Structure 1
Amino acid sequence: MVMSMESDVNKQRFRNLASVIERSRSDFDYAYSTGIMTLYARSLEHRHVEIGPGRSVIDFARGSYLGLDNHPLIVDAAIAALASYRSIQWSGARTRLNFSLTGDLENSLSELFDARIVVYSLVLTANMSALPLLACGAFTRGREPVLVFDQFAHATLAYHKAVLAEDAQVLQIRHNDVEELEGICQKHTCVAYICDGVYSMGGNAPISELLRLQERYGLFIYIDDAHGISIRGRHGQGYAKSQIADLGENTIIAASLSKGFGATGGVLMLGTDEQEKLLRRYAVPHAFSMGPDLAAIAGALASAEIHRSTELGERQARLSRVIQAFDERTPTQSSGDGMPIRMIPIGESRAAVDTAAELLRRGFYVAAAFYPTVPRDKAALRVCLTADHSQDEVAQLCASIRDIASARP
């Protein structure tokens, strides 16, 4: 079974964007025509946004799971830093000059997350920094690893497959198929698994099973936990790091300083000094591009202080209550997992778009997920729950979803 999967994947093109465009263009055209795509909004109170003059809707699409993205301490810190430095960004590679606050942020997050930290402007650039070094064997003592991607690894991970294939064999396995992954570990002496911690379309990685394979076979684990950061762990270490006490030399976690963290940017959590040296010297985004801008850095520093306070636990508890309220009213495949992303299966793309458009008309902004974000004919509504949603707002959303579903042919 494993050999068959490897053979099939190796025959595939890693990217075929022309085909994706051809197969999805009409659905995108339809979605844009209904007014549910690329909305421009202004933040109001809590999760309310203004999407037009006098038109306020409740947002269930943003991923600020703890409601920190408009926290006054974070916003005020960004404003104060801009006034103090009288600059937004320095145009230069990070191997040259950096804002002093960048070092402060990396030190603060290193203490907070109990890992060596390098910050980036985006999670995308964090992944772009680490994955080529992983593929060439720099993180595996010169041994060329077989790179194994989870089938549902985020697009910002999967995007790199073609580049990584220049240095390493690249495979793909079915979602969370630990048995298949173990088969590959038995066949190859150096294997690296690339996955999400909390998947953007629902579900999460089997961390304990991956650690078992790491202990037995030396599996290198690369986890993008952008959606898991802040919502789990005493100081918001995230879904993945809260289960991995010591990253060591065989685990790297990428995470977001947006989403649950409430600021903006990306971060790599590392286990060794050597990994950090390699990234700071050879990663293209580090050596040839800029880091986070000053407002992002200062905002993240303020968020780190919130993560050290009792407020974090209070917001995590509020989020848990909101998730429970949704699960009680609208059961899904993910019910009970404690994660803030809920997928409501619809099936056909236009039906999902129509449902999202009707919800928007009723005052709720919910994303419609369709191909290529999800497989064809697996379109769904994607609901992002946050600590700032009220119980009444959740109840009203769930009632509207049921009402629209009952009226659908």
Structure 2
Amino acid sequence: MTTTDEEQNIIGPHQYRNAEKMIRTADPVWQAAADHGLTGIRVDVPSGDANNRLVDRETGHEFVNMCSCGYLGLNHHPAVIEGAVAALREAGATSLVTSTTRIRHQLLARLEEELSDLFGTQVLPGSSCSALTAGILPLVASGHLAPGGPRVMVFDRFCHFCMSYVKPICAEESLVLTCGHNDLDYLEDVCRRYPSVAYVADGAYSMGGAAALDGLLDLQDRYGLFLFIDDSHSLSIVGERGEGFVRSRLAMNPLTLIVTSLGKGFGTGGGVAMLGDPKTYGFLTRHAGPVGWSQNMAVPLVGASLASAAIHRSSELRELQRRLHDNVAYFDELLPTSYAGNGLPVRRITVGDADRAVRLSAELYRRGFYSSAVFFPIVPQGQAGLRIMIRADIDQEVLATFADHVRELTDAL
């Protein structure tokens, strides 16, 4: 049950030694993007709208950001900003700079309680979703988080880099495999062969699409499959209280753990793990490495998150979700893609050739729209294109103008 290099679209640290072909392929394209001025752009936000009107500080070029993950616009919501300021004033410090295992500021404790109630399950905060993943995944592999001993770890080939990056550490604890994207047949075969298996995947994928959740829950029911899912790209935008694509579709249980970023739709920063088994909370605070280190959520982010949580309890959340849903549906009418109709905000416009994707991105930028070119190994070879994030706080007139430019340029290029 091994996979070839071609089957893995993300380079993990254990692959660098044998990844010369991947790096040789990707680095010239990155350099081409840099040569077109598409990387390292320093901007001002003259309007206070951190999602839309940006100005290149060096050239004065004004553009709309089409790849912001601030899906609901909460990252520049006045209440969220004021929440950060108020918390900083109340605490009189940016953080305690102490392991949260030993001492937590009461603001962080309040946030933990608030988000646990909001999402209907015990949450564990962390400095980032990546830090939570790095601390928790090896403990899944070692068998400490659910009965059955060490678990064979099956990583979806499209799972986010922050999870793929932990493969070498997990491999010290158990067998690590990589399966094709949403390949439930492969996964079931592994479940038949081994008594204790965990599947590592995204809920809503960063390059578009979603996990085959119904099939995964069926495998969990039949084989005791442990699900470790990063659902960062759907938090806030899905669910009555913004609990996300996965949490809104399942009842939490000891065989499920969801990690998610607060730095996207939620509009703040840091991350949380939603724990299927609340009894693991104390164990993770002591033994999940970066989860308990001194670099936890800074006080301003805690305050901003408390303010965002309050919005999640209000009718404003439903209005923002409605606007996002309408914009996604409108964009799908303008530029249908393979993910049209799935209700999630990430779209990918595939053009095939990496150089073509960079040139398309460069010309769109010249016309006032920044959309990131994605290419191998971010996406499989031959599937280069543009990644677009649809948001609630972008006018449909802007979407229509952007779509007109994309159609014109893809024909020309």
TM-score normalised by the shorter chain: which range applies?
over 0.9
Shift of residue 9, structure 1, vs aligned partner: 8.9
Distance 1:319 1:13 in 2: 36
Work out whether residues 2 and 178 of structure 2, in 8 Å CA contact, stay in contact via their aligned partners in 1.
Answer: no
- Which residue identity lines up with residue 334 of structure 2 in the other structure? R
Distance 2:7 2:316 in 1: 47
Structure 2 counterpart of 1:369, from 371, 374, 396: 374
Structure 2 counterpart of 1:158, from 164, 173, 176: 164
- Sort the Cα spacing of 1:250 and 1:398 in 2 relative to 1 into closer, same or farther, 3 A: same
Unmatched tracts of structure 2, length 5 or more: none
Shift of residue 350, structure 1, vs aligned partner: 1.4
State the Cα deviation string for residues 1-34 of structure 1 (Å, max 9, x = none).
xx4659x999x99422652433322111111010
- Which residue identity lines up with residue 365 of structure 1 in the other structure? Y
- Which residue identity lines up with residue 304 of structure 1 in the other structure? A
SS of the residue corresponding to residue 69 of structure 1 reads helix
2:297 aligns with: 292
Distance 1:9 1:350 in 2: 22
SS of the residue corresponding to residue 273 of structure 2 reads strand
Distance 1:217 1:388 in 2: 43
State the Cα deviation string for residues 233-260 of structure 1 (Å, max 9, x = none).
0000000100012x11100000111110
SS of the residue corresponding to residue 76 of structure 2 reads coil
Shift of residue 54, structure 1, vs aligned partner: 4.1
Structure 1 counterpart of 2:326, from 321, 335, 343: 321
Q: Which 10-residue stretch deviates more, 94-103 or 167-176?
A: 94-103
- TM-score between the two structures when normalised by the length of structure 2: 0.94
1:405 correspondence with 2:410: yes
Shift of residue 158, structure 1, vs aligned partner: 0.2
Equivalent positions of 1:7-406 (< 5 A) are: 14-16=14-16, 19=20, 20-43=22-45, 44=47, 45=49, 47-52=52-57, 54-141=60-147, 143-245=149-251, 247-406=252-411
Distance 2:218 2:191 in 1: 12
Distance 1:42 1:163 in 2: 40
Distance 1:101 1:259 in 2: 21
Work out whether residues 223 and 254 of structure 1, in 8 Å CA contact, stay in contact via their aligned partners in 2.
Answer: yes
Work out whether residues 136 and 142 of structure 1, in 8 Å CA contact, stay in contact via their aligned partners in 2.
Answer: no
Work out whether residues 263 and 269 of structure 2, in 8 Å CA contact, stay in contact via their aligned partners in 1.
Answer: yes
- Which residue identity lines up with residue 273 of structure 2 in the other structure? L
Distance 1:166 1:108 in 2: 36
Shift of residue 345, structure 1, vs aligned partner: 0.4
Shift of residue 80, structure 1, vs aligned partner: 1.2
State the Cα deviation string for residues 196-221 of structure 1 (Å, max 9, x = none).
00000010001111111111111100
Q: Which 10-residue stretch deviates more, 38-47 or 191-200?
A: 38-47
Count of residue correspondences: 404
- Sort the Cα spacing of 1:265 and 1:288 in 2 relative to 1 into closer, same or farther, 3 A: closer
State the Cα deviation string for residues 287-337 of structure 1 (Å, max 9, x = none).
334210001100001000000000000000000111111110101000111
Shift of residue 142, structure 1, vs aligned partner: 5.3
Distance 2:44 2:114 in 1: 31
Unmatched tracts of structure 1, length 5 or more: none
Work out whether residues 9 and 171 of structure 1, in 8 Å CA contact, stay in contact via their aligned partners in 2.
Answer: no
SS of the residue corresponding to residue 344 of structure 1 reads strand
Q: Which 10-residue stretch deviates more, 125-134 or 20-29?
A: 20-29
- Which residue identity lines up with residue 389 of structure 1 in the other structure? I
Distance 1:5 1:407 in 2: 38
Distance 1:324 1:369 in 2: 23
State the Cα deviation string for residues 140-199 of structure 1 (Å, max 9, x = none).
225111000001000001000011100010001100011111111111111100000000
Distance 2:64 2:81 in 1: 21
- Which residue identity lines up with residue 34 of structure 1 in the other structure? H
Identity rate, percent: 37
Q: Which 10-residue stretch deviates more, 13-22 or 328-337?
A: 13-22
Work out whether residues 7 and 157 of structure 2, in 8 Å CA contact, stay in contact via their aligned partners in 1.
Answer: no
